Amino acid sequence: MLIATGLGVGFLSAMLGIGGGSLIIPVMVLVFGYSIHTAIATSLIVIVSTSNSAASVNTLKNLVNIRLALFLEMITATGAVCGGLISTNLPEKQLTLAFSIFLIIVAILYFKGVTHKDIVNAQASDSKGVFEEKYFDGSLNKNITYRAKNIIPTTIISGFAGIISGSMGIGGGIFKVPAMNAISKIPMKISTATSNFMIGLTASAGALIYFKSGYVEPVVSGMMVIGVILGSNIAARFFNKLQDSTIKNIFLIFIIFVAIQMFMKAVN
């Protein structure tokens, strides 16, 4: 059961560029009956494992923009430290409610706002931008060159994602991926692969702390890791063949799922 859960989580996380904490923690607590600390510790190890496994394939296919990832990670990690420091002073119920409403707004704007055609047009018509890279798109069967536009708003959102991540224990990919895709006009595949690479770095520090504190259940984590490595490898291998719009639609369903989950948590 644990290996199968890991497989599903690894598959979805690798495809969407998310950590997967919002999937693992409820399953571990509600289905398997583990304590929240064990669930978080396992979730962090699983996130690192997903990231390692998916990024090993994605970097080889040039789908990860390393320089952009390093730049944004610097800001996200700073935000995460700040989030961790202020989390004890924040009213959890109101914050969770605000977060769920904000996510629904993000989902609506994102769904209506940007299409793959917009991204292609923006990249073709405007030569401005930073962190230029190119990659081979398997679904379009051609090389695509792209630059990150409007990097300042994306950086601010990444910092905000870090604060949310540090204070609420989620990966932050749910904010970073739409920001990179919709604001910086980076193709969806690059956004998710870059986010996935970044999440592994952020989660490793958290995982070490939980590891040291003795919250890690080695058997649970080990079994989940086996499943996750398999799942994320499968996802990463056929990820480049998927249409950007398909990844985006799955991502939207995930945002709505997390928003409902957060809303229920705040209301109850």
Partner 1 sequence: MDRHLNLNISRLLTWGTLLSLLFITLSVVELFITGTHITTYEELNILQLLKGLVSFNPTDTLYFALLVIIFTPIANLFYVFLYFIFSKNFISAVCALTTLLILASALILGLAV
| CA–CA distance, 258 with 248 (Å, rounded to integer) | 15
Q: Is 86 in the site for partner 1 (CB under 8 A)?
A: no
CB of 40 to partner 1, least distance (A): 7
Tell me phi and psi for residue 145, to 5 degrees: -100, 140
- Look at residue 134 and give its three-state secondary structure: strand
Tell me how crowded residue 88 is: count the other CB atoms within 10 A of its CB.
8
- Inter-axis angle of helices 66-86 and 188-212, to 10 degrees? 40
Residue 29 near partner 1 by CB under 8 A: no
Determine if 205 is a binding residue for partner 1 (CB under 8 A): yes
Member of 3, 29, 81, 95 binding partner 1 (CB under 8 A): 81
> Which pair of structure tokens corresponds to residue 187?
């193709």
User: Which string of x and - marks every residue 32-51 that binds partner 1 (by CB under 8 A)?
Assistant: --------x---xx--xx-x
What SS3 state is found at 133? strand
Work out how close the CB of 61 gets to partner 1 at its nearest, in angstroms, rounded to a whole number.
9
Whether the CB-CB separation of 258 and 23 falls below 8 Å is answered with no
Q: How many CB atoms lie within 10 A of CB 90?
A: 14
> Which residues from 119-158 bind partner 1, rule CB under 8 A?
133
Under the binding rule (CB under 8 A), the answer on residue 52 touching partner 1 is yes
* Interacting residues with partner 1 (CB under 8 A): 40, 44-45, 48-49, 51-53, 55-57, 59-60, 62, 64-67, 70-71, 73-74, 77-78, 80-81, 83-85, 133, 162, 165-166, 169, 200-202, 204-214, 216-219, 221-222, 225-226, 229
